[in-house]
Amino acid sequence: MRGPHNIIRLIRTLATLERTGAIGVVLEAMDAPPRLRAVARVLGWPFKWLGLKGDPALPPATRALTALGPAYIKFGQILSTRPDIVGDELALQLKYLQDKLPPFPVEVAKRMIEEELSLPVDQMFSSFSEPVAAASIAQVHRARLAETGEDVAVKVLRPGIEKAFRKDIDAFYFAARAIETLSPASRRLRPMDVIRHFEGVVLGELDLRLESAAAAEFAANTAKDEGFRVPQPVWHLSARQVMTLGWAEGVSMSDNAAIDAAGHDRTVLGARVLQLFLNHALRDGYFHADMHQGNLKVGADGAIIAYDFGIMGRLDEYTRRVYAEILFGFIRKDYRRVAEVHFEAGYVPADREIDEFARALRVVGEPIFGMDASRISMARLLSYLFEVTERFGMETRTELILLQRTMVVVEGVARSLDPHINIWQVAHPVVEAYIAQNVGPRALLRDLGKTLQVVARFGPKLPGMVEARLVQQNAGPKPAPHAVHPVIWMTAGGALVAVGVALGALL
């Protein structure tokens, strides 16, 4: 039975946090209320003996998360980018989770590669290193292609990782179901949908063929982005459990001292990483959704190099426009427009008061402007936003989970490079340029052209559709006196199609 298994798993999670000493460290770092700390200790202490021991050489929080498994490690990776939430000391400890986890033996990696690609490793690569990075789901080796002499990165999944991850996900489903049952008010946040979305994203990481495709698409989209590079996949040496990419040579973005020693301007890099993310999300609708420091390097020329494309986000054009209008409204302090966009998109129920919602948004936005970013507590800001969503009945938008999470991570990366960065000032030119191109009369004409081009593709079917409608109409009740005859619609449609094709060609 899955229920008892999951109860045991969740109890062991709390017990592990208690046994490793992580529970006190985490709650203190996040400035949890004394009552919550007391409850957590009381619940965890009786089961302490059930907790996993972990590696005693690691700091408490890192020790607990690595012992608990890949899903917990992913959570820790996100927190490592937010010292403003968990504190500088804990964030520094959690950075270990990004690419310094214990590796598995190189012999195991070679055996998996040979099984996947049906060729001896020595025939494919003239050299093959020990692991150079080990993360929650896979590890990376540096190798040299025997055929061309090119340096490449070979990524290999951890043995048994899919089974281990499914076990964690199953426990998360159990917890989400229990929360919905015990707290009906939580259902508006759709915890089951959130876990389902999280499962789909992470399981996608477990097929490296999909990651190779993501790398190729992302590289094509960003080929003209100044100061940004994406390694190209080597397709004939990539499969489900193995992926080969061009080698990314550079300084880790988590090493500020090395970045300074190389002569790079961290203020420029902080602004660039944030603006690149916004460009990819708004312009392309396809963005790197795991942009923590462990997946970014700085090349010798100062370019940002991204890798690890297991989690990518995609937004349709309508959602991009909504997101851009919300951001632009905050930048312009037009909280009424931000509120209207939320209502128009259906993010807030129509029976709520728009002026009250606009006033609540003003409380969120006003403290940001004219203030040094280091003075803004993102933890308190997120806490207030949660209160706002509860008050106005907003539901969790699963299609925006990845965007929201990545925005938090990218802001954390930018802030680690430049603690005084103001995210709204940096975002302004990118969002303004997108609004100018995609919201307004020109965008309306372009949309009309696209719509009519789609209609044009159904041109050959229009006579049959009209005939079928006429037969149905003659067999049924008489049309209303002012109803427009289908033949008139067909004639008007033909004219609109011609206009649409012309507009499409011009725009």
| 8 A C-beta contact, residue 418 and residue 410 | no
- pLDDT at position 219 over 60: yes
| 8 A C-beta contact, residue 96 and residue 221 | no
Query: What is the reported pLDDT for 311?
Result: 83
Active site residues: 290
Query: What is the reported pLDDT for 443?
Result: 64
pLDDT top residue among 244 and 170: 244
Laid out side by side, the sheet with 125-134 consists of: 125-134, 138-145, 151-157, 242-246
Q: Tell me the C-alpha distance between 211 and 312, whole Å.
A: 9
| Range in 55-69, 303-317, 338-352, 489-503 the model is least confident about | 489-503
**Helix-helix angle 317-331:335-344, to 10 degrees:** 160
pLDDT in tens, 75-111: 777 667 666 567 777 877 777 776 667 889 999 999 9
- Residue 148 carries which DSSP code? T
| Res. 259 pLDDT band, cuts 50 70 90 | very high
Q: Tell me the C-alpha distance between 338 and 330, whole Å.
A: 7
Q: Tell me the C-alpha distance between 411 and 137, whole Å.
A: 24
Kindly tell me the sign of the dihedral angle through the C-alpha atoms of 26, 399, 343, 427.
Answer: positive
DSSP codes, 414-448: HHHH-TT--HHHHHHHHHHHHHHHHSSHHHHHHHH
- List b or e across 475-493, with b for residues whose CB sees 16 or more CB atoms inside 10 angstroms: eeeeeeeeeeebeeeeeeb
Query: What is the reported pLDDT for 16?
Result: 87
Q: Tell me the C-alpha distance between 196 and 54, whole Å.
A: 29
One-letter amino acid for residue 227 of the chain: G
Instruction: Say how far residue 244 (Cα) sits from the centre of its chain.
Output: 23
Q: What distance separates the 2 farthest-apart alpha carbons in the chain? A: 84
Q: Tell me the C-alpha distance between 22 and 183, whole Å.
A: 27
β-partners of residue 140 are: 133, 155
| 8 A C-beta contact, residue 99 and residue 135 | yes
pTM (2 decimals)? 0.72
| Res. 256 pLDDT band, cuts 50 70 90 | very high
| 8 A C-beta contact, residue 434 and residue 282 | yes
pLDDT in tens, 276-313: 999 999 999 999 988 888 889 999 999 999 998 988 88
**What percent of the chain lies above the pLDDT cut of 90?**
30
